[in-house]
Amino acid sequence: AQKITQTQPGMFVQEKEAVTLDCTYDTSDPSYGLFWYKQPSSGEMIFLIYQGSYDQQNATEGRYSLNFQKARKSANLVISASQLGDSAMYFCAMRLPNTGNQFYFGTGTSLTVIP
């Protein structure tokens, strides 16, 4: 069963505007971690941001913020003031300590920033 769902295969955003990348997750475990990664065309996976299931506040890291809505089981990534270098694949992932610390990844969203 799909544990992480990213419904947007591709997204476009104008430079300097904000964009939201959607992610929903499925687990009945009370303890879990949610992650976002960026993968440029070069292929390396770059960690962006983390949200723990018990965290009260939404995580932020510079221009990245995670809109965590626990009741809806969503963990959307918001990128503010988009830059051309933000063009990449973005993956949402969930870590479940009760499954041997496996990470479950979504299928990714390809973001293109338009000048």
Residues that bind another protein (CB under 8 A): 4, 6, 9, 33, 35, 37, 42-45, 47, 50, 52, 91, 93, 97, 100-103, 105-108
Degrees (nearest 5) of the Cα angle 9, 46, 111? 25
Task: Say if residues 16 and 81 touch (Cβ distance below 8 Å).
Answer: yes
CB of 107 to another protein, least distance (A): 4
CB of 87 to another protein, least distance (A): 17
To which H or E segment does residue 60 belong?
Answer: strand 60-61
CB-based burial, 54-63: b 16+ in 10 Å, e otherwise? eeeeebeeee
Q: Which is nearer to another protein, 14 or 98 (CB)?
A: 98
Q: Which is nearer to another protein, 10 or 15 (CB)?
A: 10
CB of 95 to another protein, least distance (A): 8
